Structure formats: C-alpha cells, structure tokens
Homo-oligomer: A and B are copies of this chain.
Amino acid sequence: MQHATGAAPAATEVAPRVDSARRQRTRERLMDAAYELFAAQGVHATPIEAIAEAAGFTRGAFYSNFESKTELFFALAEREWRARLDHLRTTFERLLPGEALEGDRLDPEVVTRLVAEIFDSLPDDRLWHLVHAEFELLAMRDPEVAPRFLASTEAVQRELAALLDVTVRSLGLRFVMDPADLTRLVVEQHDAALRDAILSDAEDRSGAARATVMRSLPLLLTRLTEPLDP
C-alpha cells in the first residue's frame, strides 16, 4: 500500500485525510475495474488504458495511484487475501466448539463440520483463482516480479499458519509438523480442488471443491495433530 501521506503539507490538518479517503475510493474503483477485466479477458491482455476507462478515470489518474499494472495487482491481491483471512478468522471464532476432541485427538466429525461451514460461507472463487493463476505464471516468467510475488504469498501463508496454530492450540493440540508446512499442504489441496471443480464445470463449484477437500482434509488434520501435553 503506498499512500503518499508523507507529501501532505503540515499547515492543513484536515485536507490530507479527506484527500486520503477520496484517494482510497479511487484506488478501490480502479481495483474493481481491473479485477473484472482481468477475470474476463486476462491480466496480460488487459491494457492500463482499459482499466482506467472502465473505472471512469484517465490514464493519468491510474498512474497517480499505481505505478504499474503489477502494483495494482499486488494491491488487489492484498485486498482479496485480507478479506479471506478475516472471513476465516471470524468463522473460526464463531464456530469453534469448546470441545473438539475425541479422546486426546481432534474429533474428525467436528473437523468435517467446520470445513463444511467454512466452504459454505466462502464466495465462489473461480474468478480469483483464474486471475491469481495467471499472475503466478507471469511472475514465474518475470525475474523482477517473482521475488515479490513469492514474498507476498509467504506472508499470507504465515498469517494463515499462525491462525491455524492458535486454533488447534486452543483445543489443547499442536501440529506434528511446522504449521507453515501444514498450511501449505492445506492451501494447495484447496486450490487443486477448486481447479478441478472449474475444469469439470461443476454446476455447484463450491460444493464440488468441498467434496474433494472433505475426502482427505479431516483425516489429514487428525493424523497431523497431537495432544499439547501428552
């Protein structure tokens, strides 16, 4: 995020905040327009002019908000990831039972119910999956973008890993492997399930992806956790 707050003159104390709010709205509109175009015709195929026009701005307005299409993508990804992480956190808080153990292990039925409810409340992620997969490919082919893409992916996975770790610890359990590695497993499994649901053109995509994940995730989580104090 690159708000140019440092550039505000010291004498006007209210104006910068108004500017900043308007600026944020402009950025949001540009991101919304870009997201639609990226999803419909692809990231590579979408020129900056088309994004500015679809959002109702000039090319100059685009550049006063984002240095490049890549900068806009990273801001968009930050926004999308933030929304999903927040959603996951509140879903965990809302659903987490006081008792999720069966003996000294995570109860597979509780895990199954949690995963089902999380999937039901998530948005259909087909468009984001397409946009993200294309940008990942562009990043792999562009040494300038690659390290930043990897760093931002890892930052999100670290945050998700911390959330999962806190959650199982609150149940008196811990993961038998580094939570970061387990998180990778879960994320990749989810992404692969979504990809297959997209490829199979399932009418109920979210349901199809959920069914795929369900075949292994509960078992995986119960096998890869152990009591915190044995």
Copies in the complex: 2
Whether B216 contacts A185 by the Cβ 8 Å rule is yes
Whether B137 contacts A137 by the Cβ 8 Å rule is yes
Query: What is the CB-to-nearest-CB distance from A112 to chain B, in angstroms, rounded to a whole number?
Result: 14
Q: Interface 1/0s, chain A 202-230, versus B by CB < 8 A?
A: 00000000000001100110011000000
Closest Cβ neighbor of A40 among chain B residues: B141
**Residues of chain B contacted by A141 (CB below 8 angstroms):** 42, 130
**Which secondary structure dominates chain A's binding surface?**
helix
**Residues of chain B contacted by A147 (CB below 8 angstroms):** 199-201
Interface residues on A, range: 35 or more
Whether B199 contacts A189 by the Cβ 8 Å rule is no
**Residues of chain B contacted by A123 (CB below 8 angstroms):** none
- Contact for A189 among B184, B195, B215, CB less than 8 A: B184
Whether B177 contacts A184 by the Cβ 8 Å rule is no
Query: What is the CB-to-nearest-CB distance from A122 to chain B, in angstroms, rounded to a whole number?
Result: 18
**Residues of chain B contacted by A198 (CB below 8 angstroms):** 140, 146
Closest Cβ neighbor of A45 among chain B residues: B44
